[in-house]
A and B are shown apart, each in its own frame.
Chain A
Amino acid sequence: MAEIIQEEKRQKGGKKRPRRGVARVDMTPMVDLMALLLTFFMLTTAFNKPKIMVITMPEKDNKPHDQPKIDAKRTLNILLGDSDRVYYYMGIADPNKPLPTLIKTNFSKDGLRRLLLEKNRALFTKIVDYKSARAKGRIVVADTTAENYIKQLKIDDNVGPIVLIKPDVKAKYKDVVATIDEMSICNIASYAIVDLSPTEKDMLKSAPR
Chain B
Amino acid sequence: MPKIKSVARSPHVDMTPMVDLFTLLLTFFLLTAVFIPMEPAQITIPVSVSAKAVPDHNIMTLYIAPDKRIFFNYDNGQDTSFHYRIQLLEEMGGRYHINFTPAELKHFSNAGTFGLPMKDIKAWLDTKNAKDAEQLQTGIPMDSLDNQLAWWVRLGRTVNPYAEVAIKADGNVEFPVIKKVLDLVQSNGVNRFDFITTYDKEEVGLKDLPK
Chain A interfacial positions (CB closer than 8 Å to B)? 2-6, 24, 27-28, 30-31, 34-35, 37-38, 41-42, 44-46, 48-60, 80, 109, 113-114, 117-118, 121, 124-125, 128-129, 132, 167-178, 180-181, 184-186
B166 and chain A: residue at smallest CB distance: A52
- Check if B174 sits within 8 Å of A53, measured CB to CB: no
What are 21 A-B contacts defined by CB distance under 8 Å? Answer: A4-B11, A31-B15, A34-B19, A38-B22, A41-B29, A45-B34, A46-B35, A50-B168, A52-B52, A52-B197, A54-B192, A60-B186, A109-B208, A118-B210, A171-B174, A174-B46, A178-B46, A181-B49, A184-B48, A185-B49, A185-B202
* Most interface-central of B64, B194, B209 (chain A CB within 10 A): B209
> Given the complex, which residues of B lie within 8 Å of A173, measured CB to CB?
46, 64, 169-175, 177-178
Chain A residue with the shortest CB-CB distance to B192: A56
In the A-B complex, the 3 residue pairs with the smallest Cβ-Cβ separation, listed nearest first, are A174-B171, A27-B15, A41-B29
A44-B36 in contact given A51-B53, A174-B46 (Cβ < 8 Å): yes
What is the CA–CA distance of A31 and B194 in the complex, to the nearest angstrom? 44
- For residue B198, which residue of chain A has the nearest CB? A50
Contact of A52 among B50, B173, B182, B202 (CB under 8 A): B50
Count residues of chain B with CB under 8 A from any CB of chain A: 66
B103 within 8 A of A: no
State which of B169, B183, B191, B199 has its C-beta within 8 Å of the C-beta of A51.
B199
Interface on chain B toward A: helix, strand, loop, or mixed SS?
mixed
For B49, the chain A residues whose CB sits under 8 A away are: 181, 184-185
Chain B: minimal CB distance from A152 (Å): 20
A42 to B33 Cα, complex, angstroms:
9
User: Is B25 part of the binding interface, using a Cβ–Cβ cutoff of 8 Å?
Assistant: yes
Min C-beta distance of A150 to chain B, whole Å:
15
Of B19, B52, B197, chain A has the most CB atoms within 10 Å of the CB of B197
**Nearest Cβ on chain B to A134's Cβ, whole angstroms:** 14
Contact across chains for A51 and B204 when beta carbons are under 8 A apart: no
Inside 8 A of B52's CB, which chain A residues have their CB? 51-54
Please report which residues of chain B, range 41-93, place their CB below 8 angstroms from some CB of chain A when the two chains form the complex.
45-55, 64
Query: Are B35 and A44 in contact (CB-based, < 8 A)?
Result: yes
> Are B32 and A45 in contact, CB atoms less than 8 angstroms apart?
yes
Which residues of chain B are within 8 angstroms of A37 by Cβ–Cβ distance? 26
CB-defined contacts of A184 to chain B, threshold 8 Å: 48-50
**Is there a chain A Cβ closer than 8 Å to B10's Cβ?**
yes
Q: Looking across the interface, which residue of chain A has its beta carbon closest to that of B15?
A: A27
Query: Could you tell me if A57 and B175 are in contact, using CB atoms closer than 8 angstroms?
Result: no
Known: A50-B45, A177-B171. 8 other contacts (CB 8 A): A35-B22, A41-B30, A53-B194, A80-B175, A109-B208, A118-B210, A173-B46, A173-B174
Q: What separation, in Å, do the CA atoms of A14 and B195 have in the docked complex?
A: 83
Interface set, chain B 151-205, CB cutoff 8 A to A = 166, 168-179, 182-183, 186-187, 191-199, 202, 204-205
Give chain B residues whose Cβ lies under 8 Å from the Cβ of A118. Answer: 209-210
Tell me the smallest distance from the CB of B175 to a CB of chain A, in Å: 4
- Give B184 Cβ to nearest chain A Cβ, in Å: 11
B48 touching A53, Cβ below 8 Å: yes
Our pick among B36, B48, B170, B208 for the contact of A117 (Cβ within 8 Å) is: B208
Nearest-CB distance from B85 to chain A (Å)?
A: 21
